[in-house]
Structure 1
Amino acid sequence: MEPTAHSQQEASTPCSTETAEDLTSMLNAAVRDSNVEDVLEVLEKGADVNSKAESGWTPLQSAVQANNEDLVRLLLDKGACPHARKDNGGTAFTEAAIVGNVNILQLLLDRGLNINDHDDNGFTAFMEAAWYGKKEALEFLYSKGANVNLRRAVSEEKAKLHKGGATALMDACRKGHFLVVKTLVQEMGADVNIRDNKDRNALIHALKQGCTKERYESAVSIGCFLLDCRVDVNSKDECGKTALILAVEMQSPDLVKALLEKGEIDIDDADEEGNTALMVAVEKNDYNIAKLLCEKGARTDVGNLIAVANRNRAHNMARLLRQYNARFVPETLTDWEPNSKRWRDQLKKLYKIYRPTIGKLKTFQYIQQRIQNTSQGGIYLGLHGGMEVAVRIRRSTEGDKEKRFFEQCGNCEHLLKLFQFEKAEGYMYLCFPLWEKNLEEHLQEPEDQMDYKDALRMIFQAVRELHSLGFAHQNLHPSNFFIDLGGKIYLADFDNKRKLIEGKKELVNSDLEDLSRLVLYVLKGGRKPLQQVSTKDLAADSPDYQEALDLVSSLLSHDERGLEGLSKHPYFWSKQTRFKFLKSIWNKIKDLSNRKAVFQAPNATESFPYPLWTEQIDKDVLNIMENPRKGRLFKYSNDVTDLLRLIRNLDEHPNIGISNRIGDHAEYFLKLFPALTIYVYNSLRQNPEYSHFADVQDPSL
């Protein structure tokens, strides 16, 4: 019996039972097998061309990894998204650079890919091409505008761990791609002296991998090439090892000789363990390199060189060392405890290890000993004659200028002062008393117990002192205020943004505006970035809320009082001073014929904030004050003068019943009428005839 047309149709229709997950798996497998027919078949079954397999791989990315141009074109034509990212943030474009296929790179660029786009670890396509030694892809990407000197961008969290910051040149050096390194430097202008977030340059990256047998030859070639390109030979790795120490570890006499021929190298520099290049050579029993170092003047009086040679049964080495005056001397290092709490561990390391001293200064210019970054170099720990110091290293010309400036700060209480300085080989080492933290770091600590008012008082004085020297700071960032062990705050300017005022009021005004933001930042406890804080962030229930608002407003408006006058602002007054101020006003105005005129300044913009104060105050208190037992009756009105009169009378003629009811008078009135102090103060200050009434000397200032 012949099947009907209907039954024939049912027989030819496949029974599709695959789930979306099944189809994704089938599509991924077909792409990885580069089987175009299977890819088309699975897509016709309804597979999502942008589905993701393990680790977020899309079919397009897998096709690129397989270096299959036809399949890449097919998937793009079927709607594959070229911008899709794997779990690590990588795209088909970065994958194409790893493969090195220029045609695929061009195909993806035509689809709108950003040439400098990077994955979550900061790798761009250009960096990937350098890492994998894909010279043709590298040249293509360069011709299309790839940024040669782009540093690896990483998250803030990773940056704090000193990850990232490497360039394509560093990648090529690390992987030993000599021809790629030459191309990057000679044809593309790659900067050989950029440093990553661990403070390593391209030379360090090349030599770090040179100890492995398969990388030795390329590391030597790259190292010598970079030396010819005037690479900085004083860069260190994350363990404080210089290029010379790394070359000795590689046991490359050619590199050691080439490095020593560079006059700027310090042959006796040591790593974080205190090991010099000669110590490493002796430890490795490399007689030829040890001899070369000794001939070039390496110190033999540091480290127990003879003991190491004897342990290695290296009699020739021991004989060589004795020829250069090495002696067996038992180490007797006394225990020492630094004053600093924050820098204790690193200071103890610095104390114990060998470092060549610069005059009386012992310091170690590497990342673990760096305590602050600036736009003009790092600040490092140091010991100057046993004193714990912060060290700023500058070329002699710039160092002389900075030294002259800091010497002007010698008589200022809250400007960072110069402690000592040393000079050596064209550099000046400026030494400052060591601080514990900067203001930004201190405020962001959960155990922060800072007295904000006291901190701002010191900050204001520091800026006033700088202005008195004729300079405007122009960079009043919390990271430029340093706090010592005793909590004292000092202002510094290591970025050299300061400018001579020379009658330019706009420079002073700019500092005042920065100071207004800094006030808000401090009062917010550093919990919001400096540029994002506003008056909305102030706690309205704070006892200083009204005064803080007025202080910020006064700074922003370039108030005629200037910083000197604003340093005596009511915000800085103690609670008792504010209350005494309010009490004193009635005594000053009581004999005036028109008391209300005192609070009616010609340009006054604020009205009395408590027009119904008699309804706000405790009824029993008001009743007792209006009906005294031994005095005449008096009806208080709702104007400010009568409120001041009541405050004065109540405090001058205490009543036990009232005191038992409201407690401390200052506490009660300042809490009930928080805007009263600043209203009275501003009303008096803005009235030329009575402005002298606002002059208050707070003993706490």
Structure 2
Amino acid sequence: MEPTAHSQQEASTASSTETAEDLAFKLNAALRNKDEKTVQELLEKGADVNSKAGSGWTPLQSAVQADLECLVKVLLDKGACPHARKDNGGTAFIEAAVVGNVNILKLLLDYGIDINDHDDNGFTAFMEAAWYGNEEALRFLYSKGANVNLRRVVSEENAKLHKGGATALMDACEKRRFPAVKILVQELGADVNIRDNKDRNALIHTLKKSDSKQRYESAVSIGHFLLDCGIDVTSKDECGKTALILAVEMESTDLVKALLEKGEIDIDDADEEGNTALMVAVEKDDYDIAKLLCEKGARTDVGNLIAVANRNRNRDMAHLLLQYNAKYVPETFEDWEPNSKRWRDQLKKLHQMYRPMIGKLKTFQYIQQRIQNTSQGGIYLGLHGETEVAVRTRRSTEGDKEKKFFERCGNSKHLLKLFQFEKARGYMYLCFPLWEKNLEEHLQEPKDHKDYKDALRMIFQAVRELHSLGFAHQDLQPSNFLIDLGGKIYLADFDNKRKLIEDKKELRNSDLEALSRLVLYVLAGGRKPLQQVSTQDLAADSPDYKEALDLVHCLVSHDERGLEGLSNHPYFSSKQVRFQFLKGIWNKIKDLDERYTVFQASNTTEGFPYPRWTEEIDRYVLHIMKNPRRGRSYEYRNNVTDLLRLIRNLDEHPDRRVSDRIGDYADYFLRLFPALTIYVYNSLRQNPKYSHLADIQDPSL
């Protein structure tokens, strides 16, 4: 029977009642169900190809997830946006790598996709291909420019929690995708020794607890492969567990043997709980591994090994341990309090835990004990005897070079000095006096005042001392200035960027320019990054504003006085010292016939900043000074010499009426004429005949 006009109208009305939201919901459902017929029908009805379902999934992303290559083309032809993101920042391209469909990846790349684009968790398409073991997708993405060694990018908050930083190789290792691991290393050149933000390399990711026999076997195979590739076996996990401890936890005798064959492995290293590999083997009741470790010289005098073996009812284990001189060792923790406030908790934990000693040094090089990152490895807490230290580990050759440099710093007041050193297993452990924070951290702290003169004075002296040793620093970053418990500042160079100056004046000048930025950074309170700060960030109402500007200008222009001369710059003088300087100038020039031309003859390009000063000063004060109670009246003129004469007369012939009116003379004049000190100073300094008068003596220094 043919449908009547009425029935056709009803069908049309029913169709038109479907909202755009209904169509979008049905379209995504049909795609996930791989119902191609329904998808085509919904598209013909005008379903929005860029609508979003739960968690922000678009039809294109659903089609990719369902591996519906033909419908991906259809959706793109109908205007589906290939750049649209899910709620987690994922795109259709990243989803295609999860699926492993190279054809879809090719198709989407034609739409201008960034091959190294990542979602909100930092996963790129290449990382997803590694995670899911999609080997052909890995090869294809690499051929198109994917960065094989890209580290996972995460938010600043997560980075502070040490999340992120993993590579595609770590992902493949963690999921035990052995074929993908081999492709990444052997074909695509993946670096096996990159570490994530928790300081773990690919081997540590491999040795995490396996949840099935198949994954266990794959982990063992990958572990052997990475060891053959020369991976660093000293990396630890976030709990301080070494690869050896993790291999014992896996109960893989083969991996334990392979690791022990590596000369750099420390068989007695312990995790944050103080557990060594042998202690773990005894706890897990693994006799074969315990026997292997004992034979290789593992210490049996730490931990309650006998007690654990007895608790496990393993007489053979107890007998083995007794053969290797195991004894019951009770735990006793003395009441010890560190000096450091910043590192108190970590130091107390280090003091209590078992660690294999390196000479007199006790240290634990894992993330919770790390106090600073450098391009050449971390700096860790340590105890040398009972002294709290910062420890830097270097291979013996590099360590000897650094030791020689630090020995040259021995007589310096503000260069970081070497406290002690230890050597073991081809490494040198350089121990430095422990600091509380660096300059960057210090400036972020709330402060009751903002007088940074003492800090800058120590910074200047530190750079001066380094230059006097013949080196330019070349990396004057706030993080390289370290502050101890007493507030003393030291300059460090853990990235080894210093260079011999010799006859290269440009190296010294580049340090001066970097120091000018650092001055601005400090005076601006660290509110902006070092490279973004400018003179506009200085507080114009500061009593030191003009002096600070001049100091920065001198540094930028490579002032011939150098750091030694600039260390006596007026900026570093107190208010009273500046006032005494101004007052004293009149006494030095009053008997000169040419006293009124002293400043006119200067080479300064700056004119006198207060050409009408008699109109700016308090009229009552000026009237009193023009007509003193004793002596002749004097008409002060609008020149710098008469202003200096007035300052001298006020201070040396005090009048109660004046002091009642303006209060402290120094405060009044320096506030009223803030540019006067630097003008007088520079005018004299740049005048060859009178430059000797520009000498500000600060008795406090």
What does residue range 674-693 of structure 1 map to in structure 2 within 5 Å?
Answer: 674-693=674-693
Equivalent position SS for 2:88 = coil
Q: 1:367 to 1:448 in 2, by over 3 A?
A: farther
Q: In structure 2, what is the Cα distance between the partners aligned to 1:331 and 1:187?
A: 51
Deviations 1:488-539 (A, max 9, x none): 0000111111111112111110000000000000011111000000000000
- State the match for 1:452 in structure 2: 452
Once the two structures are overlaid, the 10-residue window that deviates more, 127-136 or 309-318, is 309-318
**Deviation (angstroms), 1:144:** 2.2
The aligned residue for residue 465 of structure 1 is 465
Deviates more, 1:215-224 or 1:646-655: 215-224
Q: Deviations over 1:389-422 (max 9, x none)?
A: 0011111111111101000000000000000111
Q: State the match for 2:93 in structure 1.
A: 93
- Could you say what secondary structure the match of 2:476 adopts? coil
What amino acid sits opposite 1:686 in the alignment?
Q
Aligned to 2:312: 312
Local SS of the residue matching 1:208: coil
Question: More displaced, 23-32 or 686-695?
Answer: 23-32
How does 1:387-466 map onto structure 2 within 5 Å? 387-447=387-447, 451-466=451-466
Which residue identity lines up with residue 254 of structure 1 in the other structure?
D
- TM superposition score normalised by structure 1: 0.97
Q: Mean Cα displacement is larger for which, 58-67 or 226-235? A: 226-235
Contact in 2 for aligned 1:118/1:124 (Cα 8 Å): yes
2:570 matched to which residue of 1?
570
Tell me, yes or no, if the aligned pair for 2:88 and 2:120 is still in contact at 8 Å.
yes
Contact 1:174 1:209 in 2 (8 A): no
**What letter matches 1:693 in structure 2?**
L
| Equivalent residues in 2 for 1:122-521, closer than 5 Å | 122-210=122-210, 213=213, 215-447=215-447, 451-521=451-521
Task: Give, in whole Å, the separation in 2 of the partners of 1:3 and 1:348.
Answer: 87
Task: Quote the Cα distance in structure 2 between the aligned partners of 1:4 and 1:62.
Answer: 39
Tell me the CA shift for residue 137 of structure 1: 1.5
Q: Partner of 1:64: helix, strand, or coil?
A: helix
Shift of 1:314: 2.2
**In structure 2, distance between residues paired with 1:602 and 1:457:** 29
8 Å CA contact retained: 1:601, 1:686: no
Please give the alpha-carbon distance, in whole angstroms, between the structure 2 residues aligned to 1:342 and 1:212: 43
Alignment of 1:59-74 (within 5 A): 59-74=59-74
User: Which amino acid in the other structure matches residue 555 of structure 1?
Assistant: L
For residue 61 of structure 1, report the CA deviation from its aligned partner: 0.5
Change (3 A) 1:652 1:20: farther
The CA distance in 1 between the partners of 2:357 and 2:669, in whole Å, is 63
- Counterpart in the other structure of 2:605: 605
Aligned partners of 1:164 and 1:197 also within 8 Å: yes
CA distance in 2, matches of 1:32, 1:696: 81
The answer to whether structure 1 residue 670 and structure 2 residue 670 are counterparts is yes
Partner of 2:623: 623
Q: Secondary structure at the match of 2:129?
A: helix
8 Å CA contact retained: 2:240, 2:366: yes
Percent of aligned pairs sharing the same letter: 82
Q: Structure 1 residues 209-218 or 630-639, which shifts more?
A: 209-218
Deviation, 1:226, is: 1.3
Amino acid in the other structure paired with 1:414: H
Which shows bigger deviation, 441-450 or 173-182? 441-450
With over 3 angstroms needed to count, the CA separation of the structure-2 counterparts of 1:424 and 1:626, relative to structure 1, is same
Q: Deviations over 1:166-199 (max 9, x none)?
A: 1111111101111111221222222211111111
- Match of 2:330, SS state, is coil
**AA in 2 matched with 1:503:** D
Instruction: Report Cα offsets for 1:39-92 as digits up to 9, x if no partner.
Output: 344344443321222221111001100110011001000011111111111110
**Relative to structure 1, is the Cα distance of residues 45 and 592 closer, same or farther in structure 2, using a 3 angstrom cutoff?**
farther
The structural deviation recorded for 1:214 is: 5.1
Task: For 1:694 and 1:643, locate their aligned partners in 2 and report how far apart those are by CA, in whole Å.
Answer: 17
TM-fit CA distance, 1:160: 1.6
Q: What is the Cα deviation at residue 122 of structure 1?
A: 1.3
CA distance in 2, matches of 1:402, 1:259: 30
Worse-superposed segment, 87-96 or 601-610: 601-610
Select between 349-358 and 328-337 the one with higher mean Cα deviation. 328-337
How many aligned residue pairs are there? 699
CA shift for structure 1 position 646: 0.8
Which ranges of structure 2 fall in alignment gaps of 5 or more residues? Answer: none
- Displacement of 1:250 after TM fit? 0.9
Contact 2:303 2:328 in 1 (8 A): no
- Residues 102 and 140 of structure 1 are in contact (CA less than 8 Å); yes or no, is this contact kept in structure 2? yes
3-state SS, counterpart of residue 598 of structure 2:
helix
Q: Which amino acid is 1:404 matched to?
A: K
Map 1:527-546 onto structure 2 (within 5 A).
527-546=527-546
What corresponds to 1:106 in structure 2? 106
**CA distance in 1: counterparts of 2:12 and 2:283, whole angstroms:** 77
TM-score by length of 2: 0.97
Q: Is the 8 A contact 2:626 2:636 kept in 1?
A: yes
Q: Which residue identity does 2:621 align to in structure 1?
A: V
Partner amino acid, structure 1, of 2:523 = L
Residues 409-441 of structure 1, C-alpha deviations (whole Å, 9 max, x = no match): 000000000001111111111110000011111
Once structures 1 and 2 are overlaid, which stretch shifts more, 184-193 or 84-93? 184-193
Matched residues in 1 for 2:548 and 2:212: separation?
63
Report if aligned partners of 1:573, 1:700 keep a CA contact under 8 Å in 2.
Answer: no
Deviations 1:193-252 (A, max 9, x none): 111111111110010133655521111111112112211111110100001100111111
Matched AA of 2:453? K
Equivalent position amino acid for 2:301 in 1: D
Whether contact under 8 Å (2:585, 2:693) holds in the other structure is yes
Distance 1:611 1:373, change over 3 A: same
Secondary structure (helix, strand or coil) at the match of 2:249 reads: helix
C-alpha change, 1:212 and 1:601, in structure 2 (3 Å) is farther
For 2:114 and 2:571, how far apart are their aligned partners in 1?
52
Gaps of 5+ in 1: none
Report the alpha carbon displacement of residue 37 of structure 1 after superposing the two structures with TM.
4.1
Check 1:325–1:363 CA distance in 2 against 1; reply closer, same or farther (3 A cut).
same
Taking the aligned partners of 1:328 and 1:301, their CA distance within structure 2 comes to 8
Alpha-carbon distance between aligned partners in 2 of 1:48 and 1:457, rounded to the nearest angstrom: 66
Whole-angstrom CA distance in 1 between matches of 2:342 and 2:449: 16
Please give the secondary structure, in 1, of the residue aligned with 2:87.
Answer: coil
CA contact (8 A) 1:211 1:250 kept: no
Cα distance in 2, alignment partners of residues 52 and 191 from structure 1: 39
The SS at the match of 2:224 is helix
2:648 corresponds to 1:654: no
> Measured at CA, do residues 99 and 605 of structure 1 come closer, stay the same or move farther in structure 2, by a change above 3 Å?
same
Bigger Cα displacement from structure 2, 92-101 vs 156-165: 156-165
Q: CA deviation at 1:131?
A: 0.4
Q: 2: distance between equivalents of 1:447 and 1:371? A: 23
Deviation at residue 261 of structure 1 after TM alignment: 1.6
